[in-house]
Structures are given as C-alpha cells and as structure tokens.
Amino acid sequence: MADTIRLLSTLALMGAVRNLAGKYETLTGTRIDADFAPTLGLLDRLQKGETADVLILTQEGLAGLAATGSVVAESCIDLARSLVGLAVRAGVARPDIATEEALRATLLGARSVAYSRLGASGIFFAQLIAGMGIASEVNARANIVPQGFTAERLLSGEADLAVQQISELKQVAGTDIVGPIPLHLQDPAVFSAGRLSASTRPEQSDRLLKFLASKEVAPALRDSGLEPFS
C-alpha cells in the first residue's frame, strides 16, 4: 500500500515507535506497519529475504548492512543511546548493583537470571559475566530467552533477575527496574535507523527517518528509557 511504511525494529525502540505511530499517521497520512525483534533475529530474517522500507538496529548492525549496500548509507541516522539494566518483580526488594562487587554478589546470589540470546543486551551480558569470571555459575541457573522481553520471566517465576536494555525492561508491567549496570562496565548501545535499498517507497521512508531523528520525537524516546541524540 502506498500509504504504509514497513518498519523492522529492534525491541529497544518498541515502546517509542508504538507511541509515535498514531501521531505520525495523523501528521502525514502514512501508517507505520512495524514489527519488532532482537537485532540478530532481524539480521537473520533479512538474510533470508524479508523486505521492509526502514530498519532500526544497533549502530554496528546497521553499519554492516550499509557496507554491503543492503541499507542506503546516506540515509543512516543515530536515534538514541541505551543502557543495559536489571529488573525484579514489583514489590520485591531491590538488590544492590551500584558497584561491580555488589553486582557480582547479586548475580551469584540470584536463583536465576533471565537474559536474551539474540539481543544486544544478551551479547553484552554474556561477555560481562565472562569477564567477571562468573559465567559458569550464572549460566548454570540462567533462563536464556530466545527472543522477547526477559522481564516476562519475572512474572512467570522462572527468574528473579532480568537483564535487558532499560527501554525493553520498561515494556513489562508488574516489574521494577533496579537501575543500570554500573556505567564503567558498559558502553551505551547506540540504535540507528536507515532506509533499505530494496524499499519501493524511498521518499516516504526518508520522511519517516527525518521524523524519527527530530526534536519532536525526543520526549517519546526519553519516556521509553532511551537517551535521544536530538
């Protein structure tokens, strides 16, 4: 449909995109047909031939596609930074994660930690616990989520700690965000957007990209747990 833009996005932007979709349709008459999945999941789907107009990924993931020509390099824009954090079920006492030593003790003392297999946060967390020398202990009791929101495992009782981008943790009601993993242990993920070269709606796609990078969108990004660039 000429009045619909197909958007594929990493889960970290789900809250913001859903909140903005109605406003964008009112402003432009163009509907956003959005689908959300972890970064590696989206890359796999694209490799298998799935098509779309606009793509939101980690900065590294989008740059890789731009380098191969799958994404128009000139269209790529950085949207927001994101931190990885921890959450617990609402009403449960918040554990101490303020320092590396406190985080280590909290992770080792947890009955089970839920983290993602395919998302940027899961890749980071696997590297983090390996670097801290506690990977075997944490993974022995971990609940590794193939895709989706790790905080859902708090509600089901399958885990008592959930690790993910804070913007993703905020999508699950009934949970409480403890805070970010200590900043010196992580580099904030940057999420970027670009137009797929195969898009048949380049003008509409570029209009959406301009909107997503505008100051008008910044409050929605911030409310969803992200730090906007604009």
User: What domains can be seen in the chain, in order of their start residue?
Assistant: 4-81+189-228 (3.40.190.10), 84-185 (3.40.190.10)
Query: What is the per-residue pLDDT for 2?
Result: 54
Mean pLDDT throughout 73-84?
Answer: 96
User: Distance between CA 167 and CA 8 in Å, rounded?
Assistant: 17
Question: 64 CB contacts (<8 Å, ≥6 apart)?
Answer: none
What is residue 1's predicted lDDT score, i.e. its pLDDT? 44
Q: What is the pLDDT of residues 128-150, one digit of tens each?
A: 999 999 999 999 999 999 888 99
Q: Record the tokens describing residue 153, joined without a space.
A: 């495992």
Report the pLDDT value the prediction gives residue 120, as an integer from 0 to 100.
85
**For the residues 201-228, what does the mean pLDDT come to?**
95
Structure tokens of 4? 């619909």
Average per-residue pLDDT for the chain: 95
Mean pLDDT of 191-196: 97
Per-residue pLDDT tens over the stretch 38-64: 888 899 999 999 999 999 999 999 999
Mean pLDDT, rounded, for 163-168: 95
